[in-house]
Structure 1
Amino acid sequence: MVQPRNPPRDVREFCSVLRLDADSVFVLEPRDADTPVPPYLPQPCSVQHLVERYLDIRCVPRRSFFQLLSYFSPDEQEREKLQEFSSAAGQEELYTYCNRPRRTTMEVLADFPHTASSVPADYLLELIPRIRPRAFSIASAMQAHPNKLQILMAVVQYKTRLREIRRGLCSSWLASISPEDGERIPLWVKKGSLKFPSDPDTPLVMVGPGTGVAPFHSAIQERAALGIPGCNLFFGCRGKSKDFYYQEEWQDLEKRRLLRIFTAFSRDQEDKVYVQHRIKENSAYLWELIGNRQAYFYIAGNAQSMPTQVTDALKCVFQSEGHMSAPEAEQYLVMLEKCRRFQSETWS
């Protein structure tokens, strides 16, 4: 888990819109017994620290944000618009204004300047949520790198209907840090959900498109350091020349017969090819591993459609190679889940 920070430019802009002195220092006191002081903030605390390390000024605000903001508005026109956004009748317009273009809290405040400059500083913690820590899978093994902890991260960047470039808060912050900066990154380790078999002879089948391959890189690296074969990886990405993570390492392990990799580069040909297609194409080999050699099967990655499509492809393998009916294939998958031979770790 990594605790990200807002970039200095955003901090300056936020303080400017709300007319806050970034260097001013304050002491937090609980408003009542039901509203304790956040334990994560120092006492006393500077406005700079609060905005940079605590307030999620890049998040898309919720309906309650507009409702609370309307109470502070001295401008009649801005107040009426905020009240409309927070009403039941105004939800469609709020969606068009805020959610569809993913307008940030800071951008909304800039659109309502009279209101923003009137927000009492002691209400900022109620108005804007805390920056949530970001979770990353550990992508390295202690056996290979005993003094290092590696993660696999894609820097998030995209455009919205506003034609403004959106950047991931944590990924952009981490990418901006140089080892020479001496920057200390607040992080902590939590136990993962994937469990790997203790028997080294047990084959592993791992499906990890994109950055979902991170926990499998760790598992493969551990077995490779111990000279243990039996790893099978289904990896997918947009293009072989663009985001084929760990390509040289995978190829070296294949030469050493410590890994067998199946790749799906979705944009490298006219018809898109995904990992679920590779699973169906290698159904006989997969059934030999799962049905006869008691292999463990894992999925990691984006939680949208990939896990369901991979699972459906696996059930097709059970039907075609295991000669099962659709209900039997479903029951076989349930059995694998119960004995932890089918596991998934997905995120949105």
Structure 2
Amino acid sequence: MTQLDTLDLVVLVALFVGTVAYFTKGTYWSKPHDPYGGSLAHANGLKAGKSRNFIEKMDESGKNCIVFYGSQTGTAEDYASRLAKEGAARFGLKTMVADLEDYDFENLDQYPEDKIVFFVLATYGEGEPTDNAVEFYEFVSNEDVTFSNGAAAEEKPLSNLNFVAFGLGNNTYEHYNSMVRNLNTFFERLGGNRIGEAGEGDDGAGTMEEDFLAWKEPMWTALAAHMNLEEREAVYEPVFDVVDMPNMDAEEDTVYLGEPNKYHLEGVQKGPHNAHNPYIAPIAESKELFSADDRNCLHMEIDVAGSGISYTTGDHIAIWPTNAGKEVERLLRVLGLEPKRHSVIKVSGLDPTAKVPFPSPTTYDAVVRYHMEICAPVSRQMVSTLAAFSPTDEIKAEMTKMGEDKDYFHAKVADLNVNLAQLLEILSNGAPWDKVPFSLMIEGLHKIQPRYYSISSSSVVQPGKIAITAIVESIERPGAPHIVKGVTTNYLLALKQKQHGDPNPDPHGLKYALTGPRNKYDGVHVPVHVRHSNFKLPSDPKKPIIMVGPGTGVAPFRAFVQERAAQAEKGEEVGRTILFYGCRRRQEDFLYEKEWETHKETLGDKFHCHVAFSREGPNKVYVQHKVQEYADEINTLLEQKAYFYVCGDAASMAREVNALLIKIIAEKRGVSEAKAEEIVKSMRASNQYQEDVWS
């Protein structure tokens, strides 16, 4: 027998690895080892190596309703949990909530007719699935999709499938709610039977919560009729068991004090670093680009060298925030938990499919400080649920009215920009709400989510450092009892103050725990990970680019121009690089002014920065006006296949720039606006027109 040489062995090992990956669908290495290490169940009770067959899972746990979610920021997951809980409380459904990425869907054709499946799907970016919904979406959108029985699409393989669908979208994006709309189309083609209307929530209009509440009532009516369900009086039943552990000390090394997973509890910085496992990164540099009476702007350089984190120009960095101490103390006080804030508790699901959103054992303080979105707007459904636990009958009546009357709710709650603790404190005049089960708070408040910022540095110029540019947020409304302070930006401001020598940084009296759980963020550190983006420079640097970015929308364009200047310094030929930038006043908030001048020296006539100062003249001048002023040049460059980029506010600026570009193309090329709109859509489809926008 001929002896195998090294190349033969390498090939055989590669074939073996590929074969195992195919038949296990990557179970063993497509995801990192469960960082909770047994401290809590993997999503919905699914641990590594367990079945990815959701029907089998439902049978094992006696369920007749599953609610799948595709979520990027946690809102869709929250709505899925609320639907599951409401279905159980009002109609006796045996529900479970499930992450789409935890299961396979070849057996959808075997789903029993007497059971129901919900899909709560957020649309991400330009009509894309959320990260956890990618595999599911690719499967059901495949024209040649094959299910377990081998039936073709025209044979209607999903004719036994009864489903409910709700989408979360933003009408300022072109592909508004495309995920739920496309799912509906796919399932209709495959024979699926939708119960009720497919709901659509609109974050762009600020009506997401009311859209959800308005959709679900007729949906429940249709579902009850279809499945012969009888509604009963909904009584709160906890999803989680919260047990005090008096014999455990909070300083024991098995108690989580805010660490996101077992790696961090053990003090290990182990990758891959992602939305479940941040890297505690040192802040190499921080400064204020400007400071005005009502706002200030931060520039930070975050050191990721040696972490295994890589990024490419145009990506986003996720900052993991910590809640402000002022609001942590307020919530603990209003719930009557302040005396036992550092008591150890163990949290577990009362149902094997319940997903605990943080590791335990832990403490009340750690949960509220590091894991709950305590400063988010209050939902009307949460008010209705809490009414039963009001400290007095008068407050209960007021809470009930708020929950039932949306106009009254908006006047008394939403329009005042109060968070939950602030609302409860106002209603009870500071008296504690000590009847509220802590389980209800875990269920009713979102898990705190990382905040994403466009990276304002080039990976070519500084691969080991990530720059961010952020306005410290502050929202004040007339008549509101509190000014809303951005959770993450004020946290970053406190870190900046600490780095510059303030021993007790306390921006706006918020007081952050800057050293992290067990003081593990020694020095000036922040938890981060990187999310890759499709917002990219053309691969050919000779291609012209046009960038529109007012305010901090200029962040990724700083990176783009930085990269092109570096390419030019190396002797590479770069194309025309045109930036349209807007701010208030040259002397107040003109971001990176000196850098643009330096890049102009390097790039010469290849670079132009056109600035709109909105508050310097008798008339307000915005980037849209500057774009119109240079319409001839823009049209000429677009005809040369220039790439067109927009970054900033989606609701007004980005939408207006899109409309303006259509108008420019129509006028300069002598075509109808309908034809110009087709041209712009074609540019989007080919990535010649790219947006990095937020609402």
TM-score (ref. length: structure 2): 0.48
Identify the range of structure 1 (180-189 vs 201-210) with the bigger mean alpha-carbon deviation.
180-189
In the other structure, the counterpart of 2:415 is: 100
Residue 12 of structure 1: CA displacement? 1.8
After superposition, the C-alpha distances for 1:292-344 in whole angstroms (9 at most, x for unaligned) are: x2111011111111112111221222123222222221122122122211111
Residue of 155, 159, 175 corresponding to 2:493: 175
Q: CA deviation at 1:74?
A: 4.1
Q: 1:194-222: per-residue Cα shift (whole Å, max 9, x none)?
A: 13211111011011111111111111111
Shift of 1:229: 5.0
Change (3 A) 1:250 1:158: same
Instruction: Choose which of 164, 168, 173 in structure 1 pairs with 2:482.
Output: 164
Q: What's the counterpart of residue 694 of structure 2?
A: 347
How many angstroms does 1:163 deviate by? 5.1
2:520 matches 1:195: no
CA contact under 8 A between 1:61 and 1:105: conserved in structure 2? yes
Shift of 1:72: 1.5
Contact 1:97 1:103 in 2 (8 A): no
Q: Which moved more, 1:275-284 or 1:12-21?
A: 12-21
For 1:341 and 1:82, the matched residues in 2 are separated by: 51
Contact 1:11 1:48 in 2 (8 A): yes
Q: Deviations over 1:226-271 (max 9, x none)?
A: 1145211111122222221111101221233152111111111121
Shift of 1:92: 0.8
Gaps (5+ residues) in structure 1? Answer: none
Deviation string for 1:72-95 (max 9, x for gaps)? Answer: 2241111111111111xx211110
8 Å CA contact 2:391–2:433 kept in 1: the answer is: no
1:73 counterpart residue number: 390
Runs of 4+ with deviation above 4 angstroms: none
| Counterpart among 341, 345, 348 of residue 22 in structure 1 | 341
Per the alignment, residue 583 of structure 2 pairs with 237
Measured after TM superposition, the shift of residue 127 of structure 1 is: 2.7
Do the aligned partners of residues 295 and 95 (structure 1) sit closer, same or farther apart at CA in structure 2, a change above 3 Å counting? same
- Whether contact under 8 Å (1:69, 1:115) holds in the other structure is no
Tell which deviates more after alignment, 95-104 or 3-12: 3-12
Counterpart residue identity of residue 339, structure 1: S
User: What letter matches 1:260 in structure 2?
Assistant: H
Which deviates more from structure 2 when the two are superposed, residues 317-326 or residues 213-222? 317-326
Secondary structure of residue in 2 paired with 1:28: strand
C-alpha separation in 1, matches of 2:559 and 2:682: 26
Residue type of the partner of 2:556?
A: P
Name the structure 2 match of 1:207: 548
1:136 maps to 453
User: 1:125-174: per-residue Cα shift (whole Å, max 9, x none)?
Assistant: 01322222211111111222232111110000131231532211111111
Q: Is the contact made by 1:78 and 1:115 (CA closer than 8 Å) also made in structure 2?
A: no
Distance (Å, rounded) in 2 between the aligned partners of 1:327 and 1:36: 49
- Aligned with residue 294 of structure 1, among 636, 641, 644: 641
The gaps in structure 2 that reach 5 residues or longer are 1-317, 502-521, 569-573
Amino acid in structure 1 at the alignment position of 2:359: P
Answering whether residue 644 of structure 2 is matched by residue 303 of structure 1, we say no
Look up the match of 1:247.
Answer: 593
For residues 489 and 584 of structure 2, the distance between their equivalents in structure 1, rounded to whole angstroms, comes to 19
For each residue in 1:84-115, what CA deviation from the matched residue of structure 2 results, as whole angstroms up to 9, or x when unmatched? 1111xx21111001111111112112124456
Whichever structure has more strand as a proportion of its residues is 2
Confirm whether residue 61 of structure 1 aligns to residue 381 of structure 2. no
Of 562, 567, 573 in structure 2, the residue corresponding to residue 221 of structure 1 is 562
Aligned to 1:31: 350
The yes-or-no answer on 1:47 pairing with 2:364 is yes
Residue of structure 1 in register with 2:324 after alignment: 7
Query: In the alignment, which residue of structure 1 is the partner of 2:675?
Result: 328
RMSD: 1.7
Partner Cα distance (2:668, 2:618) in 1: 29
Give the alignment partner of residue 313 of structure 1, picking from 630, 637, 660. Answer: 660
Greater RCO, 1 or 2 (C-alpha within 8 Å, sep 6+):
1
Equivalent residue, structure 2, for 1:185: 526
2:207 corresponds to which residue?
none
Instruction: Give the residue type in structure 2 aligned to 1:233.
Output: L
Amino acid at match of 1:190: R
Cα offset, 1:66, TM superposition: 0.8
Distance 1:124 1:158 in 2: 25
Alignment of 1:88-127 (within 5 A): 90-113=405-428, 114=431, 116-127=433-444
Partner of 2:630: 282
Q: Is the 1:26–1:46 contact (alpha carbons within 8 Å) kept by the matching residues of 2? A: yes
Could you tell me whether the CA contact under 8 Å between 2:418 and 2:482 is conserved in 1? Answer: no
1:247, 1:75 → 2: CA distance? 58
Percent identity, aligned pairs only? 29
In the aligned structure 1, how far is the partner of 2:630 from the partner of 2:589? 23
Partners of 1:122 and 1:184 lie apart in 2 by: 32
Please give the secondary structure, in 2, of the residue aligned with 1:150.
Answer: strand
Matched residue SS, 1:186 = strand
Amino acid at match of 1:314: L
Q: Which amino acid aligns with 1:102?
A: N
| Partner of residue 610 from structure 2, selected from 262, 271, 274 | 262
How many angstroms apart in 1 are the aligned matches of 2:648 and 2:523?
A: 31
Tell me, in whole angstroms, the C-alpha distance in 2 between the residues paired with 1:183 and 1:120. Answer: 36
